A and B are shown apart, each in its own frame.
Chain A
Amino acid sequence: MDKRDPYRHNVLTSGHRACSGCGEAMAARMVTDLIGANAIYVNATGCLQVFTTHNQQSSWQAPWIHSVFANAAAVASGVEAALRARGDDTPVIVQAGDGGTFDIGLQCLSGMIERGHDILFVCYDNEAYMNTGVQRSSSTPHAVRTTTSPPGRLSEGKHHLKKDVLSIIAAHHMPYAATATVAFFHDLKAKVEKAMTIKGPRFLQILSPCPLGWDHDASLSVSVSRLAVETGLFPLVELENGEVTSVMRLKQQRPVQDYLKLQGRFKHLFNSTSTAETATGNANGAAEIRHLQALADARIRRYELLQAETEWDTVRASQVQRHGRGGYRNTGQEAAS
């Protein structure tokens, strides 16, 4: 067991084999340290499972189980029911990627929620099948280059839109569903902590940049995720029982180009030669960029990201404090704040 750091558990500790700069490793470290080691973690197949349990070594320092790709929510349902049957109130957490949430795992997730299991389901959304080498998922945004949605003479990347999984989840009479991302740690922290106070099924979708699949510099994972929010492409919102109860206001809306330009997965849009008419009627890279801007604008309108009456905005949520703002709980020591 790793006890190097007196200020956090390191539930997900070092020696894991995530790529340098991995946003999912970062997000999972944050989430699991916020929840602590007194929980049972159920993992879907995917990057997180592969890079944390390799060659019969494990980076986990809390009880952790992986079964198969699609069934994490169902396995967790069983674990949660078993604990309940034994009068044990240890929290149960599911961790899955976007494949294990939006696609192959959606049915089990829906069942888990419908049955009201007391489980927090965390989706680390890196917007494609990264573990298998960057293939398109239903979470992949429109016009993104992946190995199975390649740009070409007749294509500008993925033809279809990113699935709005949050709305699907929220439509389940869902006690709590929220989005978060690594750049806004204190927002993420507040959401994890809030989720842990609510009984019943809870859902967190955490945008987790992937330097490999998104094709950006490893050092930019946090910066890129911040831009996803600031452009309006990834709204940070909370929904309780299906209703939007809070949003992070955009202090200033950034143009989508600021976000797209940092990432190789959008590069083809900036030097497009295609004349293809895509499924959504766009003709070339420039048109797709306009389309992505329109999608961002639509999300901003939908969640009123510019008008919302809240002090919680992208500037305030970024701010740090001398000696931190405190990090993790249950460490036996107060964080030095």
Chain B
Amino acid sequence: MKKLLEGSRAIAEAVKLCRPQIVAAYPITPQTHIIENLAQMVADGDLAAEFINAESEFAAASIVLGAVAGGSRAFTATASQGLLLMTEVLYNIAGMRLPVVMVCANRAVSAPINIFSDHQDSMTMRDAGWIQLYVESNQEAVDSIIQAYRIAEVCELPVMVCVDGFFLTHTFEPVEIPEQTQVDDFLPPFHFERTLNPSNPFTLGGGSEPDNYLEIRAQQQAALIDAVNVIQAIGADYAKLTGRAYELVDSYFAEQADTVLVVLGSTMGAVREVIDSLREQGQSVGVLRLRCFRPLPAQALVEYLSAAKRIIVIEKAFSAGAGGIVAAEVRAVLQQVGVLIPIDSYIGGLGGRDLKLTIIEDVFHQSSLAKSTADGVFLDLKQPGTATKQE
């Protein structure tokens, strides 16, 4: 049965269905509604978990680290500065191969301080060793969180579900919340092989040397690469249960189009409208959304993009001093298999700037940036000197 819920509430409902025993968090906009909902569920006795008010995001991440090592399923959520403050611990969780699940309510990073949505926060964590799923809708957020626990626990890898702040977290949409019995069938009770236990007293997080660090890192990389198959298999399993299927990537006419747009997250909704409109005008266009950004689904990218004549990437983050992050990775994947399609890299929507339909549509009308030195072009950029003026 579909319910009209605020995104944050839907996310909290999904978390609750996964029966986490420990929820630890620190408030930050736009994540707060998620943890407020969870705190209320715990307070009302609807969620049999301990809600731990951490004194910082750094602590929140550390608490869920400890909770999982202590043998309990755990959840945390954050955004922006909070995610950056977690950085050290997030790398550590991944390095220790702990199945933590968190939601990042995507938000711009400071300075200047800005509470609105883009992907700069989670993109900084792309090398931390976490699986990253970027969702388009609140329905997908719900479904991805439930899958994330199973993925994490099968792969012994942490999973970050990236949900656009405000656009999703604060938006009311009708959402199908699975039944508890369905989720219980799908997600087995928490079991972590390396739970700290006096009857099997091993050491976790001990020192390594040049002689063995590299091997441990290589294992981590292999586990992440292998996770591609797990994510797909679990996605298929989930489809059997709910009828809602999720792939590593989400294509809308991408495999049939000459020009393919590549995006992440909730932008996909607007892009679908643009694609519909352009295709009605007879243009051969499509869009490919990277649902799974880490591990990078290279095989899927090759499958969906090799036939295109032009690729346009619009992303809400950038590598300062270089350019589009997703664009660079797509370019690298295709070049590796000998496909040399022009790829135009655009950066937009930073700090919550609305990526209007006209702006997206306009990108298709622009001539290709290929063979020019222009790369990572900022969309909707006001003239210098006008950006700070009140209109």
**A→B interface (CB under 8 Å):** 37-40, 42-43, 49-50, 52-58, 60-68, 70-71, 74-86, 88, 90, 107-108, 110-111, 114-115
- Within the complex, the shortest CB–CB distance from B62 to chain A, in Å, comes to 3
- Within the complex, the shortest CB–CB distance from A245 to chain B, in Å, comes to 28
CB neighbours (8 Å) of A55 from chain B are 207-209, 211-212
- Within the complex, the shortest CB–CB distance from B125 to chain A, in Å, comes to 16
Known: A60-B201, A64-B201. A82 touches B53 (CB 8 A): no
Please determine whether B58 and A80 come into contact, CB atoms closer than 8 angstroms: no
Complexed CA–CA distance, A40 and B197 (Å)? 7
- Within the complex, the shortest CB–CB distance from A110 to chain B, in Å, comes to 7
CB neighbours (8 Å) of A81 from chain B are 21-22, 24, 50, 52, 63, 66-67, 70, 72
A-B contact pairs, 19 of them (CB 8 A): A50-B207, A52-B206, A53-B203, A55-B208, A58-B203, A62-B198, A64-B196, A65-B66, A68-B88, A71-B59, A71-B65, A74-B62, A75-B66, A75-B69, A76-B66, A77-B24, A78-B62, A78-B63, A79-B69
Please determine whether A67 and B201 come into contact, CB atoms closer than 8 angstroms: no
Known: A76-B66, A107-B55. A68 touches B198 (CB 8 A): no
Known: A40-B198, A65-B69. A78 touches B55 (CB 8 A): no
CB neighbours (8 Å) of B49 from chain A are 85
- Within the complex, the shortest CB–CB distance from A12 to chain B, in Å, comes to 11
CB neighbours (8 Å) of B12 from chain A are none
Known: A56-B206, A64-B203. A74 touches B66 (CB 8 A): yes
**Closest B residue by C-beta to A78:** B66
> Is B113 located at the chain interface by the 8 A CB criterion?
no
Complexed CA–CA distance, A86 and B72 (Å)? 7
Best-buried of B53, B59, B208 by chain A (most CB within 10 Å): B59
Of all A-B residue pairs in the complex, the 5 with the closest CB atoms, nearest first, are: A78-B66, A82-B70, A53-B206, A111-B55, A74-B62
Complexed CA–CA distance, A29 and B162 (Å)? 45
**Closest B residue by C-beta to A90:** B198
**Closest B residue by C-beta to A61:** B201
Instruction: Tell me how many residues of B have a C-beta within 8 Å of chain A.
Output: 45
**Closest B residue by C-beta to A92:** B70
B residues 59-101 touching A (CB-CB < 8 Å): 59-72, 74, 88-89, 92, 96
> Is B204 located at the chain interface by the 8 A CB criterion?
yes
- Within the complex, the shortest CB–CB distance from B24 to chain A, in Å, comes to 7
Known: A68-B92, A81-B63, A81-B70. A56 touches B54 (CB 8 A): no
> Is B321 located at the chain interface by the 8 A CB criterion?
no
Contact of A38 among B50, B61, B198 (CB under 8 A): B198
Please determine whether A65 and B204 come into contact, CB atoms closer than 8 angstroms: yes
- Within the complex, the shortest CB–CB distance from B216 to chain A, in Å, comes to 9
- Within the complex, the shortest CB–CB distance from B380 to chain A, in Å, comes to 40
Known: A60-B201, A84-B50, A85-B21. A49 touches B70 (CB 8 A): no
Best-buried of B24, B60, B198 by chain A (most CB within 10 Å): B198
Complexed CA–CA distance, A108 and B57 (Å)? 11
Known: A53-B206, A67-B65. A74 touches B59 (CB 8 A): yes
> Is B384 located at the chain interface by the 8 A CB criterion?
no
Known: A54-B209, A68-B89, A85-B22. A62 touches B201 (CB 8 A): yes
- Within the complex, the shortest CB–CB distance from A40 to chain B, in Å, comes to 5
Please determine whether A79 and B53 come into contact, CB atoms closer than 8 angstroms: no
CB neighbours (8 Å) of A79 from chain B are 66-67, 69-70, 196
